[in-house]
Amino acid sequence: MAFQTYRLLVCTVTLLALLSLFSLGEGQYKGFRKFNQVQDTRKEAEFEEQWFIQKLDHFNGADSRVWKQRYFVNEAFYRPGGPVFLMIGGEGPANPAWMQHGTWLTYAEKLGALCLMLEHRFYGKSHPTADLSTENLHFLSSRQALADLAHFRTVMAASRGLTNRKWVAFGGSYPGSLAAWFRLKYPHLVHASVATSAPVHATVNFPEYLEVVWRSLASENVECPTLVKKASDTLIERLKDPTTYENITKHFNLCSPLQIQTEMDSAYFLETLAGNFMDVVQYNEDNRGFEGVVGTNITIKVLCGVMSDISLGDPYARYAAVARLMMDTFSLKCLDANFNNYVREMTNTSWDGPAAGGGRQWVYQTCSEFGFYQSTESPNQPFTGFPLEYQVKQCADFYNISAEQLAEAVAQTNEYYGGYDIRSSRIVFPNGSIDPWHALGITQDITQDLPAVFIRGTAHCANMYPARNEDLPQLSLARDHVFLLLQQWLKQ
Ligand SMILES: *[C@@H]1O[C@H](CO)[C@@H](O)[C@H](O)[C@H]1NC(C)=O
Ligand SMILES: *[C@@H]1O[C@H](CO)[C@@H](O)[C@H](O)[C@H]1NC(C)=O
Ligand SMILES: *[C@@H]1O[C@H](CO)[C@@H](O)[C@H](O)[C@H]1NC(C)=O
Ligand SMILES: *[C@@H]1O[C@H](CO)[C@@H](O)[C@H](O)[C@H]1NC(C)=O
Ligand SMILES: CC(=O)N[C@H]1CO[C@H](CO)[C@@H](O)[C@@H]1O
């Protein structure tokens, strides 16, 4: 069972945690870090999946190839004359749980909205091509995805008599960016957007991510990130001495004896271990339980508790204890930290392949559009050993995309969408202070019509999950704030 090291931006309909709901069999999503153990099928099939005939290439009128894109409908709240809410799918299967739960439905109920959710091309069951060859992945891009949304919006509106209704786009994380860009590029089709935790600025190097991880751990316990750093430094020292590998293999419960032949091998191992902390920080104490996610009780508090527990030995031993805790939580027998296995999985182009759950597709999008590499280049963060070159080289290894091509692609993404300098109206950008992604988001009002909603103390996409009694008051306020904006905008 290999862990993935890329960090998805999921939170909305795409939660990797639900991959098992749709997986074609054991192992399909094994590339996904630990959430793949979910066995929850409660929500399955409650909302019937439907299919939309979509164009393969929106930017070539001479190409008439089509494919079937999956979508879901919830008409329960619709009142004639009401708006249409469109939840945008992202880099994983569209999860029908969102048709029953989530803040957007609370808004829909109050506003009498029809609710639709469209799965993103190349994820889940929306397969535009026969396989995931690099050549076929050329049809995977945010621009094609936005054009899918535009075509879907246009055809659905015509067939259901909704052309004069006001359409509102919702999304969190990468789909949050899509929600903002949908309004930006197709203002005649979408009246307003809620772009939660949206990284609108593309960047090859994203060292700020791990800086936020430091601060988020420190906000629990000032010693915590220092202890993590000590542990990570000790591990780096030991990796210099191959006689320690047998012990390291045991401590971290590796599936096969540790072998470090290249920098890529050690970087992969170190990034995999750091990932335990990155994931927990990104999703700290959120309410994804409704989606059937396991491990939501592993919080920053829990990890820092282990890191401070002197009965477990030195910081290195506690770091190993964190790794084992994560394996136990997600029922992994051992940790596969072998880079060659990872390459083999990521280059498998079959829809039944081990990275077809989204890993191969999403990393392609980072290599061809966004970058977002969470490198250890900053001194103000706890980890060592996975530099930018390691992540950039994966683009060459997996898709034959060079460092120069990557840099150019990322620059072009910002040129096309405007990055932080997005010019539009009626888009709200909620951001959570402990979510590492807020560093690439809109965190201050751009104009009165492009407001940010800052939520102190919450993680990725918190405002989208169903409300709970224990929610922070500022989280409830943020939800209300977004509602008031929608109410106001729908009158315009
Ligand atoms: C491996 O661990 C054992 C006991 O935990 C210790 O005695 C030994 O010195 C370690 N070996 C190396 C090479 O560090
Ligand atoms: C988290 O919850 C699971 C199942 O509910 C439980 O087995 C586990 O001990 C809990 N872990 C922690 C650290 O609280
Ligand atoms: C890709 O994955 C599938 C499903 O696991 C497997 O049957 C196939 O052999 C793999 N292909 C390659 C080239 O490894
Ligand atoms: C990789 O890309 C280079 C330049 O873009 C090209 O010349 C080369 O043929 C490609 N290699 C493969 C294996 O596709
Ligand atoms: C952490 C962060 O950058 N938060 C910002 C989110 O948005 C608000 C505006 O509502 C800013 O004041 C915060 O600085």
CATH number at residue 93: 3.40.50.1820
> Buried b vs exposed e over 317-340: b needs ≥16 C-beta within 10 Å?
ebbbbbbebbbebbebeebbbbbe
Q: Domain check: are 190 and 120 in the same one?
A: yes
Tens of pLDDT along 181-192?
999 999 999 999
314 C-beta closer than 6 A to ligand 1: no
Of 410, 433, 460, the one marking the end of a domain is 410
Q: Is 3 domain-assigned?
A: no
Catalytic residues: 173, 435, 460
Residue 309, both tokens: 């527990």
Atom from ligand 1 closest to the CA of residue 241:
13
Q: Domain check: are 290 and 392 in the same one?
A: yes
Q: Domain check: are 94 and 237 in the same one?
A: no
Q: How many domains does the chain have?
A: 2
Q: Of the ranges 77-86, 292-301, 445-454, which is most confident?
A: 77-86
Q: Domain check: are 256 and 315 in the same one?
A: yes
Q: What is the pLDDT of residue 120?
A: 97
Residue 452, both tokens: 């940010």
Q: Domain check: are 359 and 313 in the same one?
A: yes
Tens of pLDDT along 42-101?
444 467 999 999 999 999 999 999 999 999 999 999 999 999 999 999 988 898 888 988
Q: Domain check: are 209 and 199 in the same one?
A: no
Closest C-alpha residue for ligand 3 atom 12? 348
Q: Domain check: are 105 and 215 in the same one?
A: no
Model's pTM, two decimal places? 0.86
Q: Domain check: are 76 and 145 in the same one?
A: yes
Q: Domain check: are 368 and 283 in the same one?
A: yes
Mutation pick for ligand 1 pocket among 247, 250, 251, 258 (CB with most ligand atoms within 8 Å):
247
Backbone phi and psi for residue 343, each to the nearest 5 degrees, phi listed first? -60, -40
Residue 412, both tokens: 């072009």
Of 358, 386, 410, the one marking the end of a domain is 410
Q: Domain check: are 441 and 330 in the same one?
A: no
Does the structure show a pLDDT above 50 at 18? no
Of 382, 410, 438, the one marking the end of a domain is 410
Mean pLDDT of the chain: 85
Q: Is 242 domain-assigned?
A: yes
Q: Where are the alpha helices (DSSP H) in 169-222?
A: 174-185, 208-220
Q: Looking at per-residue confidence, does 6 or 297 come out higher?
A: 297
Q: Domain containing 485: what range?
A: 41-203+417-490
Q: What is the pLDDT of residue 102?
A: 85
Q: What is the pLDDT of residue 491?
A: 95
Q: Is 471 domain-assigned?
A: yes
Does the structure show a pLDDT above 90 at 250? yes
Q: What is the pLDDT of residue 289?
A: 56
Q: What is the pLDDT of residue 1?
A: 26
Q: Domain check: are 331 and 235 in the same one?
A: yes
Q: What is the pLDDT of residue 151?
A: 98
Least confident of 3-7, 92-96, 250-254, 393-397: 3-7
d(CA 217, CA 211): 10
CATH number at residue 346: 1.20.120.980
Mutation pick for ligand 5 pocket among 454, 456, 461 (CB with most ligand atoms within 8 Å):
454
Q: Is 9 domain-assigned?
A: no
Ligand 3 environment, Cβ below 6 A: 348, 350, 352-354
Q: Domain check: are 193 and 209 in the same one?
A: no
